Amino acid sequence: MSDPASENSAPSDFIRDIVAEDVRSGKYTNVHTRFPPEPNGYLHIGHTKAICLNFGIAHEFGGICNVRMDDTNPEKEETEYVDSIMADIHWLIDGWAEENLGLKQKSEGGDQRSEVRGQRSENQAGPFFASDYFEPIYAFAVRLVEKGNAFVCDMSAEQTDEYRRIGKESPFRNRTVAENLDLLARMKAGEFPDGARTLRAKIDMQAPNMWLRDPVLYRIRHAAHHHTGDAWCIYPLYDFAHCLSDYIEGITHSVCTLEFEVHRPLYDWLLESLDLPRPLPHQYEFARLNLTYTVMSKRKLKQLVDDELVNGWDDPRLPTISGMRRRGVTASVLRDFAYRIGITKYPSMTEVDALEYAMRDEFNKTALRRLAVLHPVKVVITNYPEGKTEELEAVNNPEDLGAGTRKVPFSRELYIEGADFMETPPPKYFRLRPGGEVRLKYAYIIRCEEVIKDSSGKVAELRCTADLESKSGGATSNRKIKGTIHWVSAAHAIDAEVRLYDRLFTVPEPDSDGDFKSFINPHSLEVVTAKCELSLGEAKPELRYQFERLGYFALDPDSRPGRLVFNRTITLRDTWAKEAKK
């Protein structure tokens, strides 16, 4: 497999090239990355790309990747999201890079920077939080003011915007250091209402880069924070908190997505202006993942969840990590996919086929083959004795003979797939038809002798005869028969609820124009009661199953003893569907 975990296929891209050069030149003695989600939603497959990049770099260069909640906006962040994010990350890196995971130590005290540098220990409690650094970040703000590099501004948000647009300096820009220090302290003490004042960097109101036009560093928000509670009423903004959090944790390579590119000069300016001991972290940007037939923004995903167009954040139709996990996608598939798509600065649109290929590629090698009929049609073998049962041998995985064999029961009455019989088939259809022959996998060749319909004209039962010498291994078993179909013995079948998932949207780019919700695929979920071979009664949630000729399936958490629920993770490639369309 081309899982990045198998070292001989370590990926290469411009960011890894930079890291390799930095290591070679001795710019850094260690490699330390970070994955900094904001806990305001669930992680999705786009985050998978970032996680695999940051952990991949740490893994390949013998470094650490810290997980840090980027929680500087108390109004949007919740503890529920912290928990889901951590669960998703652990699941994704398990068996691959957990030894590179940097978590916060339990022990308190000591020098914050060295403690926080992410050495592995048994004392690890959980993720880092940017909000854990509010105290040192505030101290840095004071230092910036003392150096004359920041000032307290009394303008409104609207005024600030307007002045930045036209490049005009704030009238409060030249307050004395003493006055700024006093006002900042009083901001922190809660003397002013929300929005009354801000702390701003003093850079250059004429700068062509807007982010250098005296950007806001702190705002006043009398709001409870999910992690720090009521300890603060001023909160640092992303630009101020992020570079300092990176610095505090000893991050070397701070990798983020393209939209932060224009922020990089500010990132560098802040660290430089604080005159910090070297080495400093550096920021690099790559293009986020876009996938066809889905939406990726947290806002849109949340809308689908809130409007109940899907069943929660872990709905298997969603591109969330939890949704894909529930659907049956494995972490190794996601990692493999992340490796295949590469890392560039070009904002590309990846076809979902690449993801589906990664699934089929892995499941073909690992999934146990089973017989299950999704849309059953009754078949009676008229020349097969009533009451007789044979145990036929079936291979568990032709791609992995080590997976062994199993017995499947055969008897006079069977179910076959509705789609495997047609009264008046199109050309090149080589399944069952009136008077035609087909092979039952692992069993006999049968001929359809009679079609029995119900009052509505629907096929109710097929009466067939079997070539009793044609059993697999038998005298006439080598006869050339074009079609082989799957089946289940009616008397031995067990029922299962099977959820057949399809793409959530009908168009490749649902959020390109118009309302993305109008493109929702009305057939994205079909629930059927399937007839399954007996051995599926012992299905295990950690295993993947190929229902032969149909697709790959995984047990849903809704399963209970005696009540099986399967999700279709992905169909098999279906060249007949393509042919039939012609």
Partner RNA sequence: UGCCUCGUGGUGUAAUGGUAGCACGAGAGAUUCUGGAUCUCUUUGUCAAGGUUCGAGUCCUUGCGAGGCAGCCA
Residues 219-278 that bind RNA (CB under 7 A): 219-221, 235, 237-238, 241-242, 258-263
CB of 453 to RNA, least distance (A): 22
Pick the piece of the chain touching RNA (CB under 7 A) from 88-96, 402-410, 439-447, 499-507.
439-447
| Helix (H) or strand (E) run with residue 220 in it | strand 216-220
For tokens 């930079």, the residue is 18
Do you know the residue count of the chain?
582
- The Cα-based distances of 450 to 9, 460, 470, 529, 561 in angstroms read 57, 11, 21, 26, 39
Environment class of 239 (CB within 10 Å of its CB; exposed 0-12, middle 13-18, buried 19+): buried
- Closer by beta carbon to RNA, 315 or else 486: 486
CB of 122 to RNA, least distance (A): 30
Q: E strands within 104-201?
A: 104-105, 124-126, 128-129, 150-153, 198-201
Question: Pattern 333-352, binding to RNA, x per CB under 7 A?
Answer: -------xxxxxxxxxxxx-
CB of 256 to RNA, least distance (A): 9
Question: Pattern 280-319, binding to RNA, x per CB under 7 A?
Answer: -------x--------------------------------
Query: For residue 468, what are the contacts with CB-CB under 8 A and spacing of at least 6?
Result: 383, 384, 444
**DSSP code per residue over 429-498:** --SB-TT-EEEETTS-EEEEEEEEE-TTS-EEEEEEEEETT-STTSTTTTS--S-EE-EEEGGG-EEEEE
| Bridge partner residues of 253 (DSSP) | 282
- Closer by beta carbon to RNA, 91 or else 576: 576
Among 369, 531, 544, 568, binds RNA (CB under 7 A): 369
**Start-end of H helices in 285-415:** 298-306, 321-327, 331-341, 352-366
Collapsed DSSP state (helix, strand, coil) of residue 100: helix
Could you give the CA distance from residue 205 to residue 214 in angstroms, rounded to a whole number? 6
Question: What are residue 329's phi and psi, to 5 degrees?
Answer: -70, 140
Q: Which of residues 461-490 bind RNA (CB under 7 A)?
A: 471-473, 477, 483-486
| Helix (H) or strand (E) run with residue 578 in it | helix 575-581
**DSSP code per residue over 223-249:** --BTTTBTS-SEEE-HHHHHHHHHHHH
- Closer by beta carbon to RNA, 98 or else 511: 511
Q: Which of residues 25-64 bind RNA (CB under 7 A)?
A: 36, 38
| Helix (H) or strand (E) run with residue 267 in it | helix 264-273
Contact 78, 34 (CB under 8 A): no
Q: Which of residues 371-410 bind RNA (CB under 7 A)?
A: 397-399
Helices (H) and strands (E) counted in the chain, each on its own, are 14, 28
CB of 522 to RNA, least distance (A): 23
Catalytic residue among 120, 143, 221, 288: 288
188 is catalytic: no
Binding status of residue 576 toward RNA by CB under 7 A: yes
Q: Which of residues 67-106 bind RNA (CB under 7 A)?
A: 70, 72-73, 76
CB of 370 to RNA, least distance (A): 10
Could you give the CA distance from residue 164 to residue 523 in angstroms, rounded to a whole number? 50
CB of 567 to RNA, least distance (A): 18
Total number of residues that touch RNA (CB under 7 A): 90
Q: Which of 138, 280, 153, 269 is nearest to 211 (CA)?
A: 269
Alpha carbons within 13 A on the beta-carbon side of 431: 18
38 is catalytic: yes
| Helix (H) or strand (E) run with residue 186 in it | helix 177-189
Catalytic residue among 38, 179, 390, 461: 38
For tokens 């339990």, the residue is 106
Question: Pattern 146-165, binding to RNA, x per CB under 7 A?
Answer: ---------xxx--xx--xx
Pick the piece of the chain touching RNA (CB under 7 A) from 8-16, 274-282, 499-507, 524-532.
8-16
Among 215, 250, 281, 436, binds RNA (CB under 7 A): 215
Query: For residue 390, what are the contacts with CB-CB under 8 A and spacing of at least 6?
Result: 409, 410, 411
- Closer by beta carbon to RNA, 310 or else 377: 377
- Closer by beta carbon to RNA, 93 or else 416: 416
Residue 264 structure tokens = 């990089």
- Closer by beta carbon to RNA, 164 or else 412: 164
- Closer by beta carbon to RNA, 310 or else 569: 569
197 is catalytic: no
CB of 505 to RNA, least distance (A): 16
- Closer by beta carbon to RNA, 23 or else 572: 572
- Closer by beta carbon to RNA, 97 or else 416: 416
CB of 111 to RNA, least distance (A): 26
Could you give the CA distance from residue 63 to residue 582 in angstroms, rounded to a whole number? 54
- Closer by beta carbon to RNA, 230 or else 261: 261
CB of 185 to RNA, least distance (A): 18
Q: Which of residues 103-132 bind RNA (CB under 7 A)?
A: none
CB of 99 to RNA, least distance (A): 26
Q: Which of residues 183-212 bind RNA (CB under 7 A)?
A: 194-195, 197-198, 208-211
Among 1, 124, 228, 357, binds RNA (CB under 7 A): 357
Answer positive or negative: Cα dihedral of 332, 336, 337, 342.
Answer: positive
Q: Which of residues 491-530 bind RNA (CB under 7 A)?
A: none
Answer positive or negative: Cα dihedral of 237, 239, 240, 245.
Answer: positive
Question: Pattern 532-551, binding to RNA, x per CB under 7 A?
Answer: --------------x-xx--
Residue 165 structure tokens = 């647009």
Catalytic residue among 117, 175, 298, 549: 298
CB of 558 to RNA, least distance (A): 26
Q: Which of residues 406-435 bind RNA (CB under 7 A)?
A: 428-431
- Closer by beta carbon to RNA, 83 or else 261: 261
By annotation, the residues acting in catalysis are 38, 288, 298
